[in-house]
Amino acid sequence: MLSYITKRLFLMVPLLFGITLITFTVIHLAPGSPVEVQTEMSLKASAQARENLKKLYGLDKPLHIQYFDWLRRFVRLDFGRSFVDGRKVIDKIIERIPITLTINILSLILIFSVALPIGIISATRQYSLFDKLSTVFVFIGFSTPAFWLALLLMILFGINMGLLPISGIQSIDVSEMGPFERLWDWIKHLILPVGVSAFGGVAGLSRYSRSSMLEVIRQDYIRTAMAKGLTEPEVVFKHAFRNALMPIVTILGLSVPGLIGGGVIFETIFAIPGMGQLFYSSTMARDYPTIMGILVIGAVLTLFGNLIADISYAFVDPRVRVSKK
Amino acid sequence: MRLLSVVGKRFSRNRLSVIGAVTVLLLLIISILAPFIAPYDPTATDVRHTLSPPSKTHPLGTDELGRDLLSRIIYGSRVSLKVGFVAVGIAIMTGVIIGSISGFYGGVIDAVLMRFVDMMLAFPTFFLILAVISILEQNIFTIMVVIGLTNWMDVARLVRAEFLSLKEKDFVSAARAVGVSDVRLIFRHILPNALSPVFVAATFGVAGAILIESGLSFLGLGVQPPEPSWGNILTAGKDNIEVAWWLSLYPGLAILVTVLSYNLVGEGLRDALDPRLWEAERH
């Protein structure tokens, strides 16, 4: 197992190298040098910022040296300073992580607790009314733009019924509230964003767990379990569900990058000060150091997420463990 | 020809997919005939009737400049379909070329190309698209190209997998024996046999591209007003969310119906083209 992990980590090195190369290329796609573009785009760019930029990109040096200089900084998590406010990019990113992480963990919990039961019931009652309805729901879920759903829910719950706030993560008068009121205020602000960001995931995971479950139910050992007179719940939960869960475990690993990444669109709609919104505002301001910082961190997290998915898969499935020794 | 009729018969057995196909066809007709169907000029403003709710004169209401929403949605379908088809076309071409070369030659070429695919897959797609678009000029062509060039990886993997098994087949050895060139072997002999998963991926791809375009336009990074796209109409919906629900409801409904139709067609195609299911049926 350990040698497998080491091998995988080793294989990641060329991938990481390539990722930084692509990101570096994207920077140089920018028409003109980043310095010119920046000073052109923003009147705020001071001589100091321009110097910082030249220093960051080392624009006077040959291209391959520029790349290695840049790489050396990235390895030390030095993404330079933001064009917009001159603060360190890594600080700007770190302060955004908690809120995005909170929302995404909550929505992940929601996704699993809603989608798994749907998937199991659909599979054990294949072609029943419930299965057909959930299939329809899955297709609608796949096809609904999340930001549109957000707008509709804002209109329904926020404006027509006046039940929920439609933007931000706290009310203006939050400082006058007691601790419980404050918690309730926070929960009310999170209901819509968490619900919207979970919606597509519920559709996807319930479909996935349904097919995984269907696969398992056809196996001989399930028939054996039924034949020896076990009750259906026993067979479904003890024998079938555990085995169906294996491929689902990998989904958890694969959702790691999404935990930090966050949704650009729905964070913008709900005015949530998370990573997605930071990325969007950086895009609009052409704040290249921040854009590139988030992009590389996102890609690296994706690689680690894949690794975690594979390792956890090997962990729950002894067959993989043995063959990969 | 016989194959086509089998596929057609199998496809038509799935009622939802047929409904999807009919809707896709209707949407194509609507977008082609937009100038004849739309009741108003989609960019004509009317300052006396801004933000008026759905009525007899404006079936879906008007926007903040008094433009007719129904006409704007009808014209918006042109943007969605254009982006959907062109972006998917670019993605398919890139994916097919990289996938065929990778699968056909194998070895080092395959390893290098597949690591490149892994790298591209490691980037959060929407973030990558936003980053590139923020650098380039924001118009419909940029969008098509960028969506196309960030969504070819699945196709490449599919085509590669098909090639890996097809290149061992006898008909390939036979063609090779009579001295057919590599290029001809790839494109005339093997590729036509590897296309059915590509068709399925393309159909789902159109749905995905339409969703991405609407998101980009909604953020103001896609199709720029006054040219209507479903995404940028929704931006107006968001800006007027407290007073004009119709600006939010209808364009999104158009996206949902379109994307849903393509997904249903894709699902039907997948089942109809799956040879394993054919076998099962014969018994």
Based on the fold, state whether residues A64 and A117 are members of the same structural domain. no
Highest mean pLDDT among A49-63, A198-212, B79-93: B79-93
Q: Is B123 on the interface with A (CB under 8 A)?
A: yes
Comparing C-alpha atoms, which of A138, A147, A106, A95 is closest to residue A273?
Answer: A95
Query: What is chain B's alpha carbon radius of gyration, rounded to the nearest angstrom?
Result: 22
Cβ distance B124 to A261 less than 8 Å, yes or no, reads yes
In terms of pLDDT, which residue wins out, B24 or A163? B24
- Confirm or reject contact between A280 and chain B (CB < 8 A): yes
Between A19, A148, A299, which is nearest B255 by CB? A148
Using the predicted structure, report yes or no on whether residue A160 has a pLDDT greater than 90: no
A232 and A119 in a single domain? The answer is yes
Q: Which of A19, A143, A145 sits opposite B119 (nearest CB)?
A: A19
Residue A203 lies in a domain: yes
Residues 163-192 of A with CB under 8 A from B: 166
Residue A16 included in any domain: no
**Is residue B217 within 8 Å of B229, Cβ to Cβ?**
yes
Same domain, A71 and A150: no
pLDDT per position as a tens digit, A176-185: 777 888 888 8
Predicted pLDDT of residue A53: 64
Q: Scanning every residue of chain B, which has its alpha carbon at the shortest distance from the alpha carbon of A159?
A: B242
In 3D, which of B127, B125, B30 has the Cα closest to residue B87?
A: B125
| Chain A residues lying within 8 Å of B122, measured CB to CB | 15, 19, 299-300, 302-303, 306
User: Is residue A147 located within the same domain as residue A271?
Assistant: yes
In a domain, A87, yes or no: no
**Is the link from the previous residue into B192 a cis peptide, with omega within 30 of 0?**
no
Q: Establish if A142 belongs to a structural domain.
A: yes
Q: Please report residues of B whose CB lies closer than 8 A to that of A132.
A: none
- Best B135, B142, B146, B149 member to test A by mutation, with max A CBs in 10 Å, is B135
What is the per-residue pLDDT for B135?
79
Domains identified in chain A, total number: 2
Residues A250-269 pLDDT 10s: 777 777 766 766 678 888 88
Distance CA A226, CA A224 (A): 5
Hey, are the CB atoms on A151 and B234 less than 8 Å from each other?
A: yes
* pLDDT (0 to 100) of residue A22: 81
Give the model's pLDDT for residue B283.
47
Measured CA to CA in angstroms, residue B101 lies from A217, A316, B199, B236 at distances of: 39, 36, 19, 46
Its ipTM equals: 0.87
Summarize pLDDT for B83-98 with one digit per residue, the tens. Answer: 999 999 999 999 999 9
In a domain, A18, yes or no: no
Q: Residues 14..53 of A with a Cβ closer than 8 Å to B: which?
A: 14-15, 18-19, 22, 26, 29-31
Judge whether B59 and B70 are in contact, CB under 8 Å. yes
Q: Which residues in chain B are contacts of A292 at CB distance < 8 A?
A: 131
pLDDT digits (tens, 9 = 90+) for A80-90: 788 778 888 88
Are A152 and A291 members of one domain?
Answer: yes
CA–CA gap between residue A73 and residue B167 (Å, rounded): 45
* Pairwise CB contact (< 8 Å): B134 & A148: no
The two tokens of residue A27 are: 């920077």
**What is the C-alpha radius of gyration for chain A, rounded to an integer number of angstroms?**
24
* B202-230: average pLDDT: 91
A114 and A155 belong to one structural domain: yes
Split at pLDDT 50, 70, 90, the class of A298 is confident
Return the biggest CA–CA distance within chain A.
Answer: 81
Give the residue from A127, A148, A283 with the most B CB atoms within 10 Å of its CB, the best one to mutate. A148
Q: Which of A224, A305, A303, A322 is nearest to A18 (CA)?
A: A303
Domain containing residue A29: 24-78
Q: What is d(CA A46, CA A42) in angstroms, rounded to the nearest whole number?
A: 9
Chain B residue with minimum CA distance to A268: B219
Residue of chain B minimizing CA distance to A157: B242
Q: Is residue A324 one of the residues assigned to a domain?
A: no
| CATH number of residue A169's parent domain | 1.10.3720.10
Same domain, A48 and A184: no
A116, A62: one domain: no
Does one domain contain both A67 and A203?
no
Torsion angles phi and psi, residue B45, rounded to 5:
-90, 155
Say yes or no: A105 and A67 in one domain: no
Residue A325 has pLDDT above 50, yes or no: no
Spell out the domains of chain B, with CATH numbers in brackets: 8-38+69-282 (1.10.3720.10)
For A229, phi then psi, to 5°, come to 90, 20
Phi, psi of B18 (to 5 degrees): -65, -45
Ranking A42-56, B161-175, B177-191, B243-257 by mean pLDDT, the lowest is: A42-56
pLDDT band at B278 (very low <50, low <70, confident <90, very high): low
| Cα–Cα distance for residue pair A299/A297, rounded to 1 Å | 5
- A51 in helix, strand or coil? helix
Residues A45 and A127 in one domain: no
Query: What is the tens place of the pLDDT at every residue in A100-129?
Result: 888 888 998 999 999 999 999 999 888 889
pLDDT above 60 (res A36): no
**B204 interfacial to chain A (CB closer than 8 Å):** no
Q: Which structure tokens are listed for A138?
A: 């899955």
Asked whether the beta carbons of residue B134 and residue A22 sit closer than 8 angstroms, the reply is no
> Which residue of chain A comes nearest to B215, CA vs CA?
A265
The answer to whether B95 and B156 have CB atoms below 8 angstroms apart is: yes
| Least Cα separation, residue A241 to chain B (angstroms) | 26
How many Cβ atoms sit within 10 Å of the Cβ of residue B29?
11
Asked whether the predicted pLDDT for residue A33 surpasses 80, the reply is no
Q: Is B130's pLDDT higher than 80?
A: yes
**Are A67 and A118 contained in the same domain?**
no
